[in-house]
Structure 1
Amino acid sequence: MLTVGDTFPNFKLKAAKAGPEGLNLKDPFVEISNESDAGQWKVVFFWPKDFTFVCPTEIVAFSKMARDFADRDCVIYGVSTDNEFVHVNWRLNHAELKNLEIPMLADIKRELSAACGILDKNEGVALRATFIVDPDGIIRFVSVNDLSVGRNPAEVMRVLDALQSDELCPCNWNKGDDYLKPAA
């Protein structure tokens, strides 16, 4: 599995577009690559399968925080091994997913999931993994949960704030808290 300090893999995937006004069914797809949103921080989070139970809770939570992440020059990409048509169908049939503010990337060949080392050995789907990638494409944070346990987007934002501070941040540090100062 890729870890902190590794370069996030190159990728080019189709995605169901983000859209706070809902999906435009005349033009629902976009291509997103590692070069998209160049110069910005990225949160790339993977979920196992569409039309499941834990996944939409996380996707919606990340979407609700998309503007807060954008205020930090950070984009959010959600990824699963389902195709872009399944993503659109799920959005059309799940009330909370209709107006997502984040794109849903389709890793149907499992190339990105495999390159990240996060394919579940038994199910062949992406694990519930989260990567924070800096503007230079370097992974600065990785977290992987069991398939049955959702993650906390507020914690991902807390870690992003700490990473962007470029300071020593103690346990449970939050933006605005004091940094650690080594003795001189």
Structure 2
Amino acid sequence: MSLINTEVKPFKAQAYHNGKFVEVTNETLKGKWSVFVFYPADFTFVCPTELGDLADNYAEFQGLGVEIYGVSTDTHFTHKAWHDTSDTIGKVQYPLVADPTLAISRNFEVLIEEEGLAYRGTFVINPEGLIKIIEVHDNGIGRDAKELLRKVKAAQYVASHPGEVCPAKWTPGAETLKPSLDLVGKI
């Protein structure tokens, strides 16, 4: 069964955010768009390139009313240490969520049980707490923040324009489709 259109399962976790330890829960997500970006571990190789790319595009996500949450099975203390020692991670202004119990990674079905690490999972969550987009990569394959931005914009467009859908490579301002019997076989 897919997690698409399911509600985020209850969780409570510590996060490192803007120089403080803060609590993040499933209720924290309600009322705004959220993106969960699971990654294997702090102090690794592909992970800082992805988190840095998200940091470089964070203002645009914020402009869309979207909060990003980086999530790994590390502790919030490890997140702070990485933030304090890495120039790339030092740019991160979004919460880095700790999942040392593996519960959140397990709930989102990205946990590699035998390693205690998460796959590179990206989840876009609507203001009602429903998962609208899922993308999971093997850990050797990095993600692109610009493509994630495009997908978030498409999800927001579809949510605010019932009866319309976004075709491949859709960008804001481009034509959408209105599924109907008349459209069948015309594309």
Matched with 1:95 is: 87
Identity of aligned residues (%): 36
CA 2–14 in structure 1, closer or farther in 2 if over 3 Å, else same: farther
Deviation of 1:181 after TM superposition, in Å, equals 3.8
Aligned length: 176
Aligned with 1:58 (options 50, 71, 92):
50
Contact 2:7 2:130 in 1 (8 A): yes
Map residues 120-159 of structure 1 onto 2, 5 A cutoff.
120-159=112-151
What do residues 126-163 of structure 1 show as CA deviations (whole Å, max 9, x unaligned)?
A: 11000001111111000000011111121111111111
CA 7–38 in structure 1, closer or farther in 2 if over 3 Å, else same: closer
Deviation of 1:122 after TM superposition, in Å, equals 3.8
TM-score by length of 2: 0.88
Mapped partners of 2:174, 2:22: distance in 1: 39
Mapped partners of 1:73, 1:130: distance in 2: 17
Mapped partners of 2:59, 2:25: distance in 1: 21
Counterpart of 1:77 in 2: which secondary structure? strand
Larger fraction in helix: 2
Contact 1:3 1:141 in 2 (8 A): no
The CA RMSD measured in Å over matched residues stands at 1.6
Which 10-residue stretch deviates more, 92-101 or 137-146?
A: 92-101
TM-score by length of 1: 0.90
Mapped partners of 2:29, 2:140: distance in 1: 31
Mapped partners of 1:168, 1:34: distance in 2: 28
The answer for unaligned runs of 5 or more in structure 1 is: none
Aligned with 2:166 (options 156, 166, 169):
169
Q: Structure 1 stretches (4+) deviating beyond 3 angstroms?
A: 181-184
AA aligned opposite 1:178 = E
Matched with 1:43 is: 35
Q: Does 1:107 align with 2:99?
A: yes
